[in-house]
Amino acid sequence: MLMNFQTARTYTYLSIAAAVATIALKTEAYFLTGSVGLLSDAMESVINLVAALAAFWALSFAATPADEDHPFGHNKAEYFSSGLESILIVIAAIGIAVVAWGRLFSPQPLEQIGWGLVLSLIATLINGFVAWVLLRAGRRLRSITLRADAHHLLTDVWTSAGITAGILLVKLTGWLILDPIIALLVAASILVSGVRLLRETGAGLLDTALPQVDRDRITSIFSVYEQDGIRFHALRTRVAGSRGFVSFHLLVPGEWTIQRGHDLCERVEQEIVDALPGTNVIAHMEPLEDPKSWADLELDRTLPS
């Protein structure tokens, strides 16, 4: 059955399948070698699976239509997924560090390193490909959930590469202590990733403005109409999951008919939606001759959008 890859939720199937495959490969690699570094890698893949399942739920709930209690929709559900993922990442980092710390004082020899590294390499290639697909989709669909999953997988790719390099050094040098040291470095890397993702989740819950590039697109649309004497102020933007919200005041000549002003509002709103798909736009019309509107216009020059 063909899947519709125009929705963010569809990509979570790919993420779930990749997580299951990499867990199996990395766990087998750990049992073959006994490397605590590969164990830490396998534990992070478990986090990937939990995160993918949470992303599926969050994107399914976010797609629920607006209702009486949630007139602006359920898009912020995506932040539950990214928040859960960040917490799980931190927990995984602590667990890896505890295991590695114990192995640091009692290093153990590694076995069947060749086969273990082959399995780890296959898992890394799978994660790299899926991360690339999710990152492109996350940017196109404006989904923080897909972007968070992609960045986490990319972190997994780099840590796997570091672990592989470390195990090769153990094989070449015979220094068994390198294995737990590498695992501790991986734990630190995972912890940084979790904290960064948690910070991004918090920013989204606090109604962060649209990215500057998107705000520039809006002001460029305004500038075309300002050449004809129309003015805009009170531009406010925010992000909620994959959706953006924009509101502004439109100043038109007082002698215009309501119909003419309404038509202009509709046109400007549609241009913004065309430039920023998935954006909810609300415009408020005011007369140019109103002194308060001009005072507000001057005040807006000092306020962020």
| pLDDT reported for residue 296 | 54
Q: Does domain 8-205 have CATH number 3.40.50.10490?
A: no
| pLDDT reported for residue 245 | 85
| pLDDT reported for residue 268 | 92
| pLDDT reported for residue 75 | 67
Give residue-wise pLDDT tens across range 44-63.
Answer: 778 778 778 877 777 777 66
List, by residue range, all CATH 1.20.1510.10 domains of the chain.
Answer: 8-205
| Topology adopted by domain 212-300 | Alpha-Beta Plaits (3.30.70)
List, by residue range, all CATH 3.30.70.1350 domains of the chain.
Answer: 212-300
Tens of pLDDT, residue by residue, the chain (305 residues)? 334 445 677 788 888 888 899 888 888 888 887 777 677 777 777 877 877 887 777 777 766 776 676 666 666 666 777 777 778 778 777 877 777 787 777 766 666 677 777 888 888 899 889 988 888 888 777 777 787 778 778 777 877 777 777 777 777 777 777 777 877 887 787 788 778 778 877 766 666 778 888 889 999 999 888 888 888 888 888 876 667 889 898 888 888 888 998 899 999 999 998 888 878 888 888 888 765 655 555 545 544 54
- Residue 93 CA to residue 152 CA, distance in Å, equals 13
Query: What is the sign, positive or negative, of the torsion defined by CA atoms of 71, 67, 61, 132?
Result: negative
| pLDDT reported for residue 5 | 46
SS (H, E, C) 43-98: HHHHHHHHHHHHHHHHHHHHCCCCCCCCCCCCHHHHHHHHHHHHHHHHHHHHHHHH
| pLDDT reported for residue 241 | 63
43: which residues sit within 8 A by CB, 6+ positions away? 92, 95, 96
Cβ atoms of 282 and 246 within 8 Å: the answer is yes
| pLDDT reported for residue 292 | 61
The CA-based dihedral angle spanning residues 160, 161, 167, 170, taken in that order and rounded to the nearest 10 degrees: -140
